[in-house]
């Protein structure tokens, strides 16, 4: 599933083709791809609006519209957003459930084979996701606040990092990579972490996500950038997807276990 670095990369890629452009029409099918609005409402609230900004909150893409509404996209597992010309050969994309016709002869398409993603139009982001935690790369995510919240949870630290109300945007990949970089075992109860470990984990979360953004996300399955090309983060993983391979730090074989039902990769020697 696309996580913070992948969604951030898509957001950055959408700004140039979308900002300043007006939505002339909407083609969509009523399906679970549209949430919090029906098809007619979605089309009526988007048509004639100009995109004034494109931003990210957690794993959501927020297109700000001139009338004050937000057009929201969540990529789910297999969602892709891309901008193509009207006559593009991409017209054969049978998974393009929502198409926004833009001025200038371009289309924004949301394509999603497995349909876990969705689009919506709201006046306020809280209508979609009222309980999202702090953005880990923003000033809202402080070392002191992080330490304080960890003390209140006894569950496995890996499971807590995946909880979007605890901290926003982290999924399976970047949780595993952060815990490796911080040298903390995935099953450690959150409230058992010592100050030095908390400091390492706080720094690791930020650096792992920043590295992921710099490498334009991880294309391990469906994720692609807006221009259709792949990110490079998958070529630099320390542990994710590397079970059975040697740890790049100590040579010990990387193991895979399940934490809260999610495949979890770690080095049994480096992560205590």
Tokens 């949870």 locate to 153
Task: Say whether 59 is catalytic.
Answer: yes
Q: Which one, 107 or 186, has the nearer CB to Zn ion?
A: 186
Position of minimal CB gap to Zn ion: 247
Question: How far apart, in whole angstroms, are the C-alpha atoms of residue 267 and residue 252?
Answer: 7
Residue with structure tokens 């569950």? 155
What is the signed CA dihedral for 77, 15, 103, 29, rounded to 10 degrees? 10
Handedness of CA 116, 122, 128, 132 (dihedral sign): positive
Q: What is the Cα–Cα distance from 175 to 256, expressed in whole angstroms?
A: 14
Q: Which residue's CB is nearer to Zn ion, number 27 or number 207?
A: 207
According to DSSP, the residues that pair with 207 across neighbouring strands are none
45, 56, 59, 225: which is the annotated catalytic residue?
A: 59
Tell me the C-alpha distance between 212 and 259, whole Å: 23
Q: Judged by CB, which is closer to Zn ion: 45, or 185?
A: 185
In terms of CB distance, is 31 or 249 closer to Zn ion? 249
Q: Say how many C-beta atoms besides its own lie within 10 A of residue 160's C-beta.
A: 21
- Least Å distance, CB 236 to Zn ion, is 16
- Shortest Cβ distance from residue 125 to Zn ion (Å)? 40
Q: How far is the CB of 185 from Zn ion (least distance, A)?
A: 12
Strand partners for 189? 156
Whether 232 is catalytic: no
Smallest separation (angstroms) from Zn ion to the CB of 97:
43
Q: Which is nearer to Zn ion, 123 or 252 (CB)?
A: 252
Active site residue 148: no
Which entry of 12, 15, 183, 262 is annotated as an active-site residue? 262
The answer to whether 109 and 28 are in contact (CB under 8 A) is no
Least distance (Å) between residue 84 CB and Zn ion: 44
Binding region for Zn ion (CB under 5 A): 247, 249-250, 252, 267, 269-270
For residues 85 and 113, the answer to whether their CB atoms sit within 8 Å is: no
**Is 197 noted as a catalytic residue in this protein?**
no
> Which residues are known catalytic residues?
2-3, 59, 262
């Amino acid at each position: 599933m696309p996580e913070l670095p992948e969604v951030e990369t898509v957001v950055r890629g959408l700004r140039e083709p979308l900002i300043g452009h007006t939505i002339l029409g909407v083609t969509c099918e009523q399906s679970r791809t549209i949430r919090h609005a029906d098809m007619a409402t979605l089309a009526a609230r988007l048509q004639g609006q100009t995109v004034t900004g494109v931003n990210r909150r957690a794993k959501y893409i927020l297109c700000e519209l001139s009338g004050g509404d937000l057009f929201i996209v969540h990529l789910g597992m297999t969602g892709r957003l891309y901008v193509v010309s009207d006559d593009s050969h991409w017209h054969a994309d049978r998974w393009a459930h929502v198409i926004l016709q833009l001025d200038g002869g371009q289309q924004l398409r949301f394509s999603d084979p497995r349909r876990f993603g969705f689009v919506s139009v709201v006046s306020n982001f809280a209508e979609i996701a009222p309980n999202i935690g702090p953005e880990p790369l923003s000033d809202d995510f402080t070392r002191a606040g992080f330490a304080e919240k960890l003390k209140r949870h006894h569950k496995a630290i890996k499971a807590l990092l995946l909880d979007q109300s605890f901290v926003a945007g982290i999924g399976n990949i970047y949780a595993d990579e952060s815990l490796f970089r911080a040298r903390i075992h995935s099953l450690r109860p959150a409230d058992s972490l010592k100050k030095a470990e908390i400091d390492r984990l706080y720094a690791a979360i930020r650096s792992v996500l920043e590295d992921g953004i710099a490498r334009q996300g991880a294309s391990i399955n469906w994720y692609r950038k807006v221009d259709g090309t792949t990110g490079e983060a998958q070529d630099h993983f320390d542990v994710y997807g590397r079970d059975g391979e040697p740890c790049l730090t100590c040579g010990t074989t990387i193991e895979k276990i399940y934490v809260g039902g999610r495949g979890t990769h770690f080095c049994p020697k480096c992560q205590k």
